[in-house]
Every structure is written in C-alpha cells, then in structure tokens.
C-alpha cells in the first residue's frame, strides 16, 4: 500500500477546482505501472513522488496524463507540492520549494499560497487568418467578436483570444466537433471592482478525443498573463476566474516579483489515504 492524496487545485472549496492524483511514494514502480494507474484515475494528470536526484531539489516528481508522461504541467505542480508539504515535507530554503521533474528544476514560491514562475513562450505574436477562422468555428462566433488574438504557447499549443468582456466569454457555446484538433484560450475582462479581473476558458481537442473544457489551467493562465500584462491590458497583481461555465470556481492568482510572473493559488486535499499499487 502506498500513501495517496487527491488534491483540488486553484480553489479553497473542495470539488470546485482542478483535481490531481498524487501517489506519495513512486519507488519501484515501472513507467508502465505508473501510466496504467494514471489511465485508471482518468484525471487530467496523476503524479508520483520520489526522492530528488540532485541536492538543490526538495523532491522529484513524474507527471502523467491518461496517455503520456509530461515534462511539466502547472496545476499538477502546485497540487503535488501542496501534498508534499502537507505530508511533512521540509524545504531546503525558506519561502521556496524546488521541484525536480523532466523539465528540470522548477522553483515555487511558498508564501501566502504556492506559485510557479511562468515558463517562457515557445510561440507568440499574431495569429493568421486561417487559424482565427478555426478558432471562430470552435467558439461559434464571428471574427468581429474577437477584440485581439495572440499565440500564447508555452508548450501545449495555446492560441488565445480576447472577447469584449467576461459575460461574452461565459455566453459561449463551443462546437467541440468543429475542428479535429485545437488548444484555445478565451479571456474577457470583468467590470472594475470585481473580485476577478478576467474570466478564462480553456478548450482543447487532441488525438481522438471529443474535445473538452479544462476546469482551471495553470499553463494557459501563465501565458495569458505574459500577453495581457505585456500589452498593458492588465496590471499585476490580479485574480483570474476559470471553470465558471462548467460549475467550478477556480481562482488563479498572478503576481510579478523578482523579475518573474508568478502563477499560483490555493489547494485543498479531498482524498487522503492509501492505494494498492
């Protein structure tokens, strides 16, 4: 039996965020066994903790979707770190936790919630007409509904579009079957004085999937922050709301410090026990 937690990320309310399964001791498990378990949990990601292999790191983690292993992902990083700290993990440095994963060493701030530094964009800039037509087909809107668009790809392939406001974002009725593959982020601003500055939706369809909406997305919020802080649409710090359209209440906190954009939020453990693995 191995210690196991299921953590809801980017929320303080159980079952309102984005869950990640965390196996607290992955020692002696093969890659095939980890992938099989991740497929069985049927969550977007499942992680496995190990002792670090380098002295700078506090722990090592491997991150699996139902199909493949990932080098890094946002909400699994925060959820796994939450689980490690809750289980008694003691960081080497005050105020920071260093995660070792396939992408290398990831620094998390540990003050008033966990946050990771936004990774660099691998693709940015203007979106061409053909790609915008694909986005509009999935969103079910005319081109005139899009105020601005940009590539905001930090790995998953995100193309981001901004609508007139949060109400327009929440009113969308996406046609998930309109295109064979996509990763689309949609944002719109809330009225001044609202608890959240923007509303975010993340739509994706990969491989043979039917297409779905992610409850709360660390990677997309990181790249949207780089885009909208960079062009002056938003000012730091701010809070992004996500998951509203599918009955969640995710909250992502974005802040600029130490010449980095930090993306974080709260987590709550919903399941704490053991798993026969």
pLDDT in tens, 38-87: 999 999 999 999 999 999 999 999 999 998 899 999 999 999 999 999 99
CA 95 from centre of chain = 22
| Residue 225 belongs to domain spanning | 123-252
The pLDDT confidence band at residue 16, using thresholds 50, 70 and 90, is very high
Residue 228: what pLDDT? 98
Q: Are residues 73 and 145 in the same domain?
A: no
pLDDT confidence of residue 30:
98
CA distances (Å), origin 65, targets 95, 102, 121, 264: 29, 14, 22, 21
Domain containing 182 — which CATH number? 3.10.310.10
Is 54 contained in some domain? yes
pLDDT of res. 9: 98
| Percent of the chain's residues with pLDDT above 90 | 94
**Whether residue 136 sits in one domain with residue 113:** no
Is 52 in the same domain as 169? no
pLDDT, tens digit, for every residue of 86-99? 999 999 999 999 99
For β-strands 238-242 and 198-205, DSSP reports them as: parallel
On the question of pLDDT at 200 being above 90, the answer is yes
Binned at pLDDT 50, 70 and 90, residue 206 comes out as confident
Q: Give the separation between CA 47 and CA 20, rounded to whole angstroms.
A: 7
Residue 258, in any domain of the structure? no
Domain identity same for 232 and 127: yes
What is the pLDDT of the chain when averaged over all its residues?
96
Average pLDDT over residues 12-35: 98
Q: Are residues 246 and 271 in the same domain?
A: no
Do 178 and 225 share a domain, yes or no? Answer: yes
Average pLDDT over residues 105-120: 93
24 has a pLDDT exceeding 80 = yes
- DSSP letter at 127? -
pLDDT at 152 > cutoff 90:
yes
Residues of 60-91 as b/e, b for ≥16 C-beta within 10 angstroms?
bbbbbbeeeebebbbbbbbbbbbbbbeeeeeb
Mean pLDDT along residues 116-139: 96
Same domain, 77 and 127: no
Rounded mean pLDDT of 228-243?
97
131 and 222 inside one domain: yes
Count of domains for the chain: 2
Q: What is the dihedral of CA 10, 156, 103, 14, to 10 degrees?
A: 20
64 with 84, same domain: the answer is: yes
**Per the structure block, which two tokens stand in for 220?**
């997309």
Q: What is the pTM of this model?
A: 0.94
Residue 207: pLDDT over 80: no
Closest CA to 213 of 173, 261, 253, 179: 173
What pLDDT is attached to residue 251?
98
Given the residues 32, 45, 56, 102, select the one marked as catalytic.
Answer: 45
Q: How far apart are CA 166 and CA 25, in angstroms?
A: 41
Residues 6+ apart with CB under 8 A from 43: 19, 20, 21, 66
Q: Characterize 226-248 residue by residue with b for buried, 16 or more Cβ atoms within 10 angstroms of its Cβ, and e for exposed.
A: bbbbeeebbeeebbbbbbbbeeb
Q: Residues 205-211: what's their mean pLDDT?
A: 80
Q: Is 45 a catalytic residue?
A: yes
């Amino acid at each position: 039996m191995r210690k196991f937690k299921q953590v809801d990320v980017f929320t303080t309310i159980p079952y309102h965020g984005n869950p990640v399964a965390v196996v607290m001791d992955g020692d002696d498990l093969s890659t095939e066994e980890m992938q099989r378990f991740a497929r069985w949990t049927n969550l977007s990601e499942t992680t496995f903790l190990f002792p670090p292999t380098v002295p700078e790191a506090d722990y090592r983690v491997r991150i699996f979707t139902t199909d493949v292993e990932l080098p890094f992902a946002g909400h699994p990083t925060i959820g796994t770190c939450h689980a490690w700290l809750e289980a008694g993990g003691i960081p080497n440095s005050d105020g920071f936790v260093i995660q070792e994963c396939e992408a290398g060493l990831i620094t998390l701030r540990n003050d008033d919630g966990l946050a990771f530094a936004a990774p660099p964009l691998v693709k940015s800039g203007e979106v061409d007409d053909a790609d915008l037509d694909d986005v509009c087909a999935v969103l079910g809107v005319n081109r005139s509904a899009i105020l601005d668009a940009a590539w905001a790809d930090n790995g998953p392939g995100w193309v981001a579009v901004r609508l007139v406001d949060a109400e327009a974002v929440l009113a969308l009725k996406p046609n998930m079957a309109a295109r064979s593959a996509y990763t689309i982020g949609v944002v719109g601003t809330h009225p001044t004085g609202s608890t959240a500055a923007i509303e975010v939706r993340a739509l994706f369809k990969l491989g043979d999937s039917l297409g779905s909406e992610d409850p709360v997305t660390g990677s997309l919020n990181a790249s949207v922050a780089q885009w909208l802080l960079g062009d002056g649409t938003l000012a730091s710090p701010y809070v992004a709301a996500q998951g509203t359209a599918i009955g969640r209440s995710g909250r992502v906190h974005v802040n600029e410090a130490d010449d980095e954009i930090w993306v974080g939020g709260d987590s709550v453990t919903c399941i704490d026990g053991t798993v026969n693995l």
